[in-house]
Amino acid sequence: MVDRRVRIKPDSDLPTDWMIHAKCKGMATSLFFANDEAGRVAEDSAAKVVCTGCPVRTQCLDYAIEAPMDFGVWGGFTWAERLRLINSRRKRGVELLRRDRAKPPSP
């Protein structure tokens, strides 16, 4: 049987310096991690409003994709939306993370 559980990378393996600039810093985490289906749509929408205009939205989204975070709203995207984004980028053959796209070409 294949183990399909997601293994989340520890923060020591990921860039986290951007977190200090998060617009959501100090807000209730329940807004970004809805506990039940009933509240999920409303809370996801409210979380996305907070993410709009966040100065580290791109870094947050990259972090959630790279970890990978299979729950919550990160960078304005739910897990289902992140999965669609990941699959779309893979199909188009583009780098999964924005910071990888900015790398200079190898000599």
Contacts with ligand SF4 by CB under 6 A lie at 22-24, 32, 50-51, 54, 56-57, 60, 74-76
State how far the Cα of 20 lies from the Cα of 24, in Å rounded to an integer.
10
- Closest approach, Cβ 78 to ligand SF4, in A, equals 11
Alpha helix (H) residue ranges in 1-107: 37-51, 57-66, 79-92, 98-101
Nearest approach, Cβ of residue 66 and ligand SF4 (Å): 14
Instruction: Give the nearer residue to ligand SF4 in terms of CB position, either 3 or 51.
Output: 51
For the chain, the straight-line distance linking the first and the last C-alpha, in angstroms and rounded, comes to 43
> Toward ligand SF4, which CB reaches closer, 33 or 89?
33
